[in-house]
């Protein structure tokens, strides 16, 4: 058996496939953007068939670019956008409705009804999550209630549901395996993270039939084999992990107290808390970091909805830039006297605010404000939101995470300007991963180790090195002043959202 591993990374805006060689280094990659649709205000959907086609296409192209065939691949690992979910026909694999994306807010009303009925504390205690449209359970219930005949078909066992990892596994194995891993299950609001199982009380609250749900396995496990027709030979699927947990592993944050932040469409800061479930008093999420050999490692997570997506807004909606990587150069040219703050609450504010009704706002505009200043404010908004999360974590976790080294990855981490701004904002050292694709790297490490062709995770962690570090060079008073202005901007945004 060779040591090649194929990592499938299915994200919010694109699907990518990366082939890693026996030395665990990437040798070929292919990526394809996927479309998002916005049928109504606050609604975000994906065409699951388009996702499936993009995964097959990018995987085939990556294998061809690597100059290898399917029989040379020891294992596949799949990582995915987590809370995005769909329902499909058991007999055909055909989705009955577009996938509802994690950013979607359509089930706000359903969450409010559950909150009024007193389910909030129960959900938080069992799942570690807040009652919010972000998570999968109300999305699943919405599809069952809004597609003719769906609820009856689900109760009769004719339908299956899952997050994107589950759907891809089902399709890749030709319907032989309906399974997920503990990290993805922990993001549905249906999974008791203390007992590591689907919970009947939660299923009843959200009105989700158990017959829909996949089997829950460890992150590294036997998830079957691909149908030979897809790639020319069967390939074992040996790892699944939600994108942020895969990045935690890819950043080698295997010890309690270690932190990583991934900057993709959103921003997700994850803190390893070991075998302890840390309950947040600041509306952060207690979640499963990973589960291996039946042992669960927990994490504390803060989620920001808009990071790279805010840059996409500059490009696609305002058409101020042609490419995302222009923002760093423009930000460098911004007038230092322009004190502009963007609160990118385009689909609400995530942690620690969790306000679904908030919408984006810009403060400090003057006649001199231009593209450079807006670019700077957009990149800085990601930095300030990251600090919001770390401030919350610092009061929830017994270790002092203020000033702790933060390991970063994701597309936006490639911007030197943004990462220096992040170091200045936090007053912390920022370590950029050798691979911006730490999410794919993490699930590849799981799959390679499970297949027995790569070293175990502890050896992997011992060999982790930063590509570049950024140290703060902003004085303490100016750092504090800027953050006060940011907090004032957020407070004004929340105040506006509360106005009837």
Is 243 known to sit in a ligand binding site? yes
Backbone angles phi, psi at 370, to 5 degrees: -135, -165
Q: Give the model's pLDDT for residue 95.
A: 97
Is 16 known to sit in a ligand binding site? yes
Is 13 known to sit in a ligand binding site? yes
Is 158 known to sit in a ligand binding site? no
Q: What is the DSSP letter of 464?
A: -
- pLDDT of 41-73, one tens digit each? 889 999 999 999 999 999 999 999 999 999 999
Is 195 known to sit in a ligand binding site? no
Is 359 known to sit in a ligand binding site? no
Is 411 known to sit in a ligand binding site? yes
Which residue ranges form the domains of the chain, and what is each CATH number?
Answer: 2-242 (3.30.420.40), 251-499 (3.30.420.40)
Residue with tokens 């999968």: 136
Is 83 known to sit in a ligand binding site? yes
CA distance 6 to 21: 9
Cα–chain-centroid distance for residue 352? 16
Ranges under pLDDT 50 in the chain? none
CA distance 141 to 153: 13
- pLDDT of 298-326, one tens digit each? 999 998 888 888 998 999 898 998 888 88
CA distance 283 to 393: 10
Is 14 known to sit in a ligand binding site? yes
Are 291 and 182 within 8 A, CB to CB?
yes
Is 265 known to sit in a ligand binding site? yes
Q: Give the model's pLDDT for residue 403.
A: 66
Is 325 known to sit in a ligand binding site? no
């Amino acid at each position: 058996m060779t040591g090649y591993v194929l990592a499938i990374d299915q994200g919010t805006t694109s699907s990518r496939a990366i082939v890693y060689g026996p030395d665990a280094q990437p040798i070929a990659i292919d990526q394809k953007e996927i479309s998002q649709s916005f049928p109504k205000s606050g609604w975000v959907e994906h065409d699951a068939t388009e996702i499936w086609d993009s995964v097959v296409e990018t995987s085939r192209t990556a294998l061809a670019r690597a100059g290898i065939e399917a029989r040379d691949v020891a294992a596949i690992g799949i990582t995915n956008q987590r809370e995005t979910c769909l329902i499909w026909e058991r007999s055909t694999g055909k989705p009955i409705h577009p996938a509802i994306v994690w950013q979607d807010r359509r089930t706000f009303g359903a969450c409010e009804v559950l909150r009024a009925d007193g389910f909030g504390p129960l959900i938080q205690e069992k799942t570690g999550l807040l009652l919010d449209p972000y998570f999968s359970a109300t999305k699943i219930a919405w599809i069952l209630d809004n597609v003719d005949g769906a609820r009856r078909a689900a109760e009769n066992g004719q339908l299956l549901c899952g997050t994107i990892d589950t759907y891809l596994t089902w399709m890749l194995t030709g319907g032989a395996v309906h399974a997920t891993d503990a990290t993805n299950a922990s993001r549905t609001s249906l999974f008791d993270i203390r007992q590591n199982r689907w919970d009947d009380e939660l299923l009843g609250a959200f009105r989700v039939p158990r017959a829909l749900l996949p089997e829950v396995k460890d992150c590294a496990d036997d998830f079957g084999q691909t149908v030979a027709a897809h790639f020319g030979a069967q390939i074992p699927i040996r790892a699944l992990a939600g994108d942020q947990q895969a990045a935690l592993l890819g950043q080698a944050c295997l010890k309690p107290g270690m932190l990583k932040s991934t900057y993709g469409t959103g921003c997700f800061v994850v803190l390893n808390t070991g075998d302890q479930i840390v309950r947040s008093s600041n509306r952060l999420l207690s979640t499963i970091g990973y589960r291996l050999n039946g042992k669960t490692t927990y994490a504390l997570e803060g989620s920001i909805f808009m990071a790279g997506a805010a840059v996409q807004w500059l490009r696609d909606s305002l058409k101020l830039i042609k490419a995302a990587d222009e923002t760093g150069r423009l930000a460098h040219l911004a007038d230092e006297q322009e004190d502009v703050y963007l609160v990118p609450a385009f689909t609400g504010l995530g942690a620690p605010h969790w306000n679904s009704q908030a919408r984006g706002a810009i403060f400090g505009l003057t006649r001199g404000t231009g593209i450079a200043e807006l670019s700077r404010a957009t990149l800085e908004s990601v930095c300030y939101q990251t600090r919001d999360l770390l401030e919350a974590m610092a009061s929830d976790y017994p270790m002092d995470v203020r000033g702790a080294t933060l390991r970063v990855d994701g597309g936006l981490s490639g911007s030197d300007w943004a990462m220096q701004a992040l170091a200045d904002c936090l007053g912390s050292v920022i370590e950029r991963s050798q691979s911006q694709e730490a999410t794919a790297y993490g699930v590849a490490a799981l799959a390679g180790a499970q297949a027995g062709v790569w070293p175990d995770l502890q050896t992997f962690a011992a060999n982790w090195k930063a590509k570049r570090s950024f140290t703060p060079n902003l004085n303490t008073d100016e750092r504090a002043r800027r953050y006060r202005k940011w907090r004032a901007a957020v407070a004004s945004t929340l105040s506006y959202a509360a106005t009837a």
